[in-house]
Amino acid sequence: MTALWWQTCVIYQIYPRSFQDTNGDGIGDLSGIARRLDYLVSLGVDAIWISPIYPSLMVDFGYDVADYCNIDARFGDLTDFDDLLMQAHRRGLKVLLDFVPNHSSDQHPWFVESRASRHNEKRNWYIWRDAAADGGPPNNWISDFGGSAWQWDEVTGQYYYHAFLKEQPDLNWRHPAVQAAMYDVMRFWLDRGVDGFRIDVLWHMVKAADFPDNPPNPTYRFEMGEMHRLLQLHSTDQPEVHRLAAEMREIADGYGARGQGDRVLIGEIYLPVDRLMHYYGGERPEMHLPFNFQLIDTRWDARSLATVITNYEAALPPGGWPNWVLGNHDRPRVAARRGQAQARVAAVLLLTLRGTPTLYYGDELGLSDVMIESSQVRDPRELREPGLALGRDPVRTPMPWDDSENAGFTNAKPWLPLHADWPTRNVARMTQDTQSILALYRRLLALRRACPTLSIGDFVLLNVEDDTLVYERRHDAERMIVALNLGERQHRLQLPDWARGSRLLLSTIEDAALVEDGAVLLGSNEAVVLKAS
């Protein structure tokens, strides 16, 4: 096969508010990202995905878009964006934007018009319904952020639907004018030269036409958050979404000198694997990469991981390209979930599985979640259902660059506090330390770049025993072995005959494993990559 860039690349997610501030307002900006491009090149990633940078009221920190075709002044302007794009491309880095089609801000001119009167030309651009017979909401649907998903509008006497905050009304994607307007938004950025989009909540975009009640979730527990009281059977993952996804794909495929394969679409979809697979498309292609979040949610033991990987590989449709994600701006960080020692093992896993990996900024430093005092909480998710650990501020804190004031992130007060360990856990310091997790990430990324087997080679599960997981990656004549120790105990692993005489390419620990007599001695929390031939 001839691999395409989005198949061999490693994607790095930037949460722009927290990457690098350059104008002293305590909030990261586009010039800040531009200033740090050389870091990203030296790290060894190939593409960046930037969370939303459009004009926004920042009620949901950019996921409430007030203008799809501009840049929020806090981040810069279109000239800064073009400059960033040019500088990234000059360094061979691809740039992906976050496309938020499911909902806009309630301050978007479209919604301002839509709510002005029942007869407004844009009324049907959003989802308006009469009250139920008792005056209550039209059905029982719950917002992902808790509470009814319906907001009463006094002026026009109807409810509108919002899957997230009331400040984020859902667009009505059944309306052809909405489709046309949003496809133009995609073209606006693709014409400017962006290399693709991560598409926000793709599976939410179409709702059942007759808005039936959602059924109760039999496994609901209070700690899960109110949204889980119901199964989102009718409010998400409707068959009609697939035509829209295919149309988006057709737009993306229409771009680029190299034609098909030049621009990439990644769908944010939280669904079980069998449902997820539909988003690769059927007759017509849809997402290049429907995000695979299973490494975030799975139990962290050898058997569970092996099951997740083999089931996912087996479920992929013909031609469907795999992808793996360890963390993002909505979920606890890998270091917080698994601890520092296993964060290193997780790095090896992420970067030696078949398919496209996405790395969340700061995870390469082992950055952990930051405890946020209740007076400093910014995330509406936390404010609406406090105390359930659903808030996302802890994973969105500033990137620690060096040991100067405010970790080199800003010369003002950062919008969220830094992790207390920033004086030592920062890019400058960890670059000097050959045993740091940052150094490990650099070695892994370099190895992956040098050995296509690690990105595109076949995956073969070799062994799952106690705390150890061993797999092979194979491409043409090259065969590599990855062995992970998910636990504290040492293990002696017998290698298959063909792998006798394997060479150790990389280990997560200083006293690297011994390979002798056709066996590997795997230390506590150690992961290794071997080359057999």
Among 23, 310, 431, 463, binds Ca ion (CB under 5 A): 23
Separation of alpha carbons 421 and 406, rounded Å: 12
Is there a contact between 399 and 426 (Cβ–Cβ < 8 Å)?
A: no
Q: Does 279 bind ligand TEU (CB under 6 A)?
A: no
Minimum CB distance to ligand TEU smaller for 105 or for 507: 105
Minimum CB distance to Ca ion smaller for 25 or for 223: 25
| Residue 328: strand, helix, or coil | coil
Minimum CB distance to ligand TEU smaller for 60 or for 72: 60
Choose from ligand TEU, Ca ion, none: what does 63 bind? Cβ within 5-8 Å by kind.
ligand TEU
User: 396: which DSSP letter?
Assistant: S
Q: Does 200 bind ligand TEU (CB under 6 A)?
A: yes
Alpha-carbon distances, residue 302 vs 305, 462, 464 (angstroms): 5, 12, 6
Residue nearest to ligand TEU as judged by C-beta position? 63
Separation of alpha carbons 281 and 246, rounded Å: 7
Contacts of 56 (CB under 8 A, 6+ apart): 62, 63, 64, 65, 66, 72, 105
Among 49, 54, 63, 68, binds ligand TEU (CB under 6 A): 63
**Which residue, 466, 464, 440, is CA-closest to 529?**
440
CA atoms within 13 A on the CB side of 179: 14
Which tokens go with 317? 């449709």
Minimum CB distance to ligand TEU smaller for 399 or for 530: 399
- DSSP state letters, 23-78: SSSSS--HHHHHHTHHHHHHHT--EEEE---SSB--TTTTSSBS-TTS--TTT--H
User: In the beta sheet, which residues pair with residue 527?
Assistant: 484
Minimum CB distance to Ca ion smaller for 352 or for 410: 410
Q: How far is the CB of 376 from ligand TEU (least distance, A)?
A: 19
Choose from Ca ion, ligand TEU, none: what does 334 bind? Cβ within 5-8 Å by kind.
none
Q: How far is the CB of 330 from ligand TEU (least distance, A)?
A: 4
Is there a contact between 353 and 10 (Cβ–Cβ < 8 Å)?
A: no
Q: Does 77 bind Ca ion (CB under 5 A)?
A: no
Q: Does 164 bind ligand TEU (CB under 6 A)?
A: yes
Which residues between 43 and 62 bind ligand TEU (CB under 6 A)? 60
User: In the beta sheet, which residues pair with residue 528?
Assistant: 483, 507
Alpha-carbon distances, residue 423 vs 36, 170, 323, 360 (angstroms): 19, 43, 34, 21
- In the shown chain, the binding pattern of residues 372 to 401 toward ligand TEU, with x for contact by CB under 6 A and - for none, equals ---------x--------x-----------
Q: How far is the CB of 205 from ligand TEU (least distance, A)?
A: 12
Residue ranges of the alpha helices (H) in 268-388?
273-276, 294-297, 302-315, 334-352, 380-384
Burial 435-460 (b: 16+ CB within 10 A, else e): ebbbebbbbbbebbbebebbbbbebe
Choose from Ca ion, ligand TEU, none: what does 266 bind? Cβ within 5-8 Å by kind.
none
Residue 200 known to be catalytic: yes
**Which position among 268, 363, 385, 393 bears the catalytic label?**
268
Q: Does 526 bind ligand TEU (CB under 6 A)?
A: no
Q: Does 275 bind ligand TEU (CB under 6 A)?
A: no
Residue ranges of the alpha helices (H) in 410-481?
427-432, 437-450, 452-456
- In the shown chain, the binding pattern of residues 83 to 122 toward ligand TEU, with x for contact by CB under 6 A and - for none, equals -----------------x----------------------
Minimum CB distance to ligand TEU smaller for 242 or for 381: 381
Q: Which DSSP helix (H) or strand (E) runs through 245?
A: helix 241-253
Among 270, 361, 422, 471, binds ligand TEU (CB under 6 A): 270
Q: How far is the CB of 77 from Ca ion (least distance, A)?
A: 13
Separation of alpha carbons 423 and 405, rounded Å: 9
Residue 476 known to be catalytic: no
**Which position among 170, 200, 262, 364 bears the catalytic label?**
200
Minimum CB distance to Ca ion smaller for 52 or for 366: 52
Among 27, 34, 271, 372, binds Ca ion (CB under 5 A): 27
Minimum CB distance to Ca ion smaller for 30 or for 245: 30
Q: How far is the CB of 95 from ligand TEU (least distance, A)?
A: 18
Q: How far is the CB of 100 from ligand TEU (least distance, A)?
A: 6
CA atoms within 13 A on the CB side of 335: 20
Count of beta carbons in the 10 Å neighbourhood of residue 38: 11
* Contact residues for ligand TEU, defined by CB under 6 A: 60, 63, 100, 144, 164, 200-201, 268, 270, 329-330, 381, 390
* Contact residues for Ca ion, defined by CB under 5 A: 21, 23, 25, 27, 29
Catalytic residues: 200, 268
